[in-house]
A and B are shown apart, each in its own frame.
Chain A
Amino acid sequence: MKYDLVLVRFGEIVIKGRNRNRFETMLLTQIKAAFRDMPALEFIRSYARTYIRLNGESYEKVANKLKDIFGIMSFSPVVASELELEAIRDHSLKLIRGLKKAPATFKVSVNRGWKQFPHNSPEMNHLIGSHVLRHTPDLKVDVHSPDVELKIDIQRDYAYVYCEAVKGAGGFPLGMNGKAMLLLSGGIDSPVAGWMAMRKGLKIEAVHFHSYPFTSEQAKDKVVALAKRLAYYGGKIKLHLVPFTEIQTKLVQSGHDNLIITLMRRSMLRIAEKLAEQNGALAIVTGDSLGQVASQTLGSMNVIGRVASLPLLRPLVMVDKQDIIDYAERIGTYETSILPFEDCCTLFVPKSPAINPNLNVVEKAEAVLGAELHRLIDEAVQATEVVVLKENGESDNESSARKEEEAWF
């Protein structure tokens, strides 16, 4: 099936009153940016929707990108038909036949925007519907809840015919709701949390804690790969790589073996909050899922979360592990996440970590370290390395080394 246009419907933003114009402009800009490498496309803006004129580009290629752009509710491939009854009938039948899953019921909705067209809408409904019915055995009309609604929009230039509606990613245009820091560990959950945050219109900067030489370079590469995948959805991702070795070894030596994870997580939050302040982010997103591990029990969340005053957003807090995995597979982070490199939390894991840490004990343990801990935290923030990652791109220092490589592949 060859299509001429794609009709893109905007999502929740439609309801946003006076801000609607700003939001729609934002979304359209992002859609255009996503198709920078397809200059033949034309974008025609309309109320709460936009049309993309394909001009010969492949619909599949366009659809493949559209489905991942946040703020889009759904989209439909459209055929532009000559303004003749026979042509419109032909295209209608072809569209119905071209559906992957043959519908059992359908209805026709005609909108005659151009009133000079000889047949009015009710007439057209009948003329098209009867033609499709006659040529499609086993298909019935159901005007209340049809499997497929065949829509025909008659305009001055063409009649636009479509029936398939592909579900979009939904949510809000990226960045519409501000910015947050994402704690990105390298596991399965945090990239999904990041994707969910972005879907709801948050711009994300990722924060990763590494403990070289206790963690390997591969662990870092893995996080870079995950951040790059998130950059596919989020344009560019700023990744903050925080050296955590000193804090971690200090905490390990403090003698509170079963509280080590709690203590580490608290320090990480403090660092993340400082980075958030520096970068104008108003929340911290984590992949916490209630009860999944010792640091994600309600007791642990309470004791850990207390150190942060910014909102802690936990998109996965009530989501089951299997569902998280399904999301990870869908957004393309799962394969990377399950690579076997340790992150700094999986090292030094005590045999029996506290699932219900005592706030007093934790605060006392930190008090013993006193100013030393705060100094180390400040130093870690100071020494944080920042890389800006693009989906397919390389960070700057990588790219020169990769130049010579190109000849090898």
Chain B
Amino acid sequence: MPAVVVDTMSDLMRLHYANAASMHRSGSEAMRLAEKARSSVAERMGCSPGEVVFTSGGTESNNLAIKGTLDNIARASKHLVVSAVEHASVYECARQLESRGVELTILPVDGEGRVDPADVERAIKKETALVSVMHVNNETGTVQPIREIGAIVQKYPHVKFHVDGVQAIGKVPFDWRSSGVDLYAGSAHKFGGPKGAGFLLVKEGIELAPLLSGGNQEEGRRSGTLNVPAVVAMSQALRLTMENRDARRVRMYAMRRRLLELIADIPELRTNGISSGDANVERDAAPHVVNVSYPGMRPEVMIHMLEQNGILVSTQSACSSKSLKPSRVLLAMGLGADRASASIRISFGDEHTMEDVETLGDKLKTVVKQLKPLERIQG
């Protein structure tokens, strides 16, 4: 988290402790700051302030978008469409709704993890309430064709389009107004803001059933005392991240290209998702994620080895990494269990340099050499 954002957060905790919903002056001051943060988020995301709902983060935003849409529909038959590679906060949410009687269609993906927009159109029927396809996959970095999907969904006014944008913000361009997206989720700690803060963009005119009952904050869409320091810090982090987005993309794609070359040099490692560094192809991958498997090697062994060398990477998605099951995302891409249960996810931040990439390449080589005798082909 950038130091200036930490300072903002602590300044606000000290100076504006009041509840933004209070009538008194300090309360309305806090509210004014929160609204300023809302306008700032709106400006950066290209929406209007009334379309920003503050939440506790990506998981809540995704749940609010999906359950809020489905629960707001009186129809007996409801139908939900999600991709097979969604983050757990979408995927598990959809599974939970399925157990409550919602009809669920799970869209397949191709070998690089991409949804085919034509599949979306085929899945839509008159009971369909919502299509949910993420913007950037958290494990592989694959960018979904959400513009194309948005254009399709727009043809069916009874269907709403939700996009989990958590991994995309600050890394991949997005134009809210022309996107055809109705609901877009963001999480502050993915772009240098504090944990416990996020937002859901809700297109004007869309009503959501709230997840929480309470004091009807956020115009009834999200009850609970507003976390003003976090919200202001998030708006600042978002501004900083957006100001540097284009430069960051250039820098990170260069790092990604180099890393892919280094990995290609190690025959034991296999890149999952989009492995090309070609300028036209790499645009379909986010610049900050590379996913590799070492088939025959448990990923946590790799992780611990790299950690001893001062490099922090993770398995699958951090949220589900404690389980040793093969990655659902990689399985959906048609990869075998050996590869799907042996993946590690390497991601860059603004703090990383090309030098770090070279170091990482060296360490990967050493670690693989050390582990080679321990390979277990059966996984």
Q: Which of A218, A405, A407 contacts B33 (CB 8 A)?
A: A405
With A217-B28, A409-B239 given, name 5 new contacts (CB 8 A). Answer: A335-B50, A405-B36, A407-B8, A409-B40, A409-B235
Interface pair B37/A217, CB less than 8 Å apart: no
Interface pair A408/B28, CB less than 8 Å apart: no
| B11 interface residue per 8 A CB criterion | yes
CA distance A80 to B53 in the complex (A): 48
CB of A136, distance to nearest CB on chain B (Å): 28
CA distance A407 to B233 in the complex (A): 11
Q: Which of B23, B25, B232 contacts A408 (CB 8 A)?
A: B232
Contacts of A294-353 to chain B: CB distance below 8 A:
335
| Chain B positions within 8 Å of A216 at CB level | 23, 28
CB of A376, distance to nearest CB on chain B (Å): 26
Interface pair B36/A409, CB less than 8 Å apart: yes
Contacts of B1-47 to chain A: CB distance below 8 A:
4, 7-8, 11-12, 23, 25, 28, 32-33, 36-37, 40
A385-409 CB contact bits vs B (8 Å, 1 = yes)?
Answer: 0000000000000000000010111
CB of B12, distance to nearest CB on chain A (Å): 7
- Total A-B contacts with CB atoms under 8 angstroms apart: 29
A202-224 CB contact bits vs B (8 Å, 1 = yes)?
Answer: 00000000000000111001000
| B236 interface residue per 8 A CB criterion | yes
Q: Which of B11, B28, B50, B232 contacts A218 (CB 8 A)?
A: B28
CA distance A407 to B232 in the complex (A): 11
Interface pair B239/A408, CB less than 8 Å apart: no
Interface pair A409/B37, CB less than 8 Å apart: yes
CA distance A34 to B112 in the complex (A): 53
| Chain B positions within 8 Å of A217 at CB level | 25, 28
| Chain A positions within 8 Å of B32 at CB level | 221
CA distance A405 to B40 in the complex (A): 13
CA distance A85 to B90 in the complex (A): 62
Q: Which of A221, A335, A408 contacts B236 (CB 8 A)?
A: A408
Size of chain A's interface in residues, with CB distance under 8 A? 9
CB of A190, distance to nearest CB on chain B (Å): 22
CA distance A408 to B50 in the complex (A): 21
Q: Which of B4, B28, B233, B235 contacts A221 (CB 8 A)?
A: B28
CB of B1, distance to nearest CB on chain A (Å): 14
| Chain B positions within 8 Å of A408 at CB level | 8, 11-12, 33, 232-233, 236
| Chain A positions within 8 Å of B7 at CB level | 407
CB of B44, distance to nearest CB on chain A (Å): 11
Chain B residue nearest to A335 in the complex (CB): B50
Which 6 pairs between the two chains have the least Cβ-Cβ distance?
A408-B8, A218-B28, A409-B40, A408-B232, A217-B28, A217-B25
| Chain A positions within 8 Å of B239 at CB level | 409
CA distance A59 to B25 in the complex (A): 43
CA distance A7 to B77 in the complex (A): 59
Q: List 9 A-B contacts (CB under 8 A).
A: A216-B28, A218-B23, A221-B32, A405-B33, A405-B36, A407-B7, A407-B8, A409-B37, A409-B235
CA distance A221 to B50 in the complex (A): 18
| Chain A positions within 8 Å of B33 at CB level | 405, 408
CA distance A218 to B29 in the complex (A): 10
| Chain B positions within 8 Å of A221 at CB level | 28, 32
Interface pair B232/A409, CB less than 8 Å apart: yes
B155-192 CB contact bits vs A (8 Å, 1 = yes)?
Answer: 00000000000000000000000000000000000000
CA distance A409 to B8 in the complex (A): 8
A263-279 CB contact bits vs B (8 Å, 1 = yes)?
Answer: 00000000000000000
CA distance A133 to B184 in the complex (A): 47
CA distance A335 to B28 in the complex (A): 18
CA distance A405 to B7 in the complex (A): 12
CA distance A338 to B232 in the complex (A): 25
CB of A400, distance to nearest CB on chain B (Å): 14
| Chain A positions within 8 Å of B40 at CB level | 409
Contacts of B106-124 to chain A: CB distance below 8 A:
none
Contacts of A193-248 to chain B: CB distance below 8 A:
216-218, 221
| Chain B positions within 8 Å of A218 at CB level | 23, 28
| Chain A positions within 8 Å of B36 at CB level | 405, 409
CA distance A217 to B233 in the complex (A): 26
Chain A residue nearest to B9 in the complex (CB): A408
Chain B residue nearest to A216 in the complex (CB): B23
Chain B residue nearest to A213 in the complex (CB): B23
B310-323 CB contact bits vs A (8 Å, 1 = yes)?
Answer: 00000000000000
| Chain B positions within 8 Å of A405 at CB level | 33, 36
CA distance A326 to B203 in the complex (A): 21
| Chain B positions within 8 Å of A407 at CB level | 4, 7-8, 11
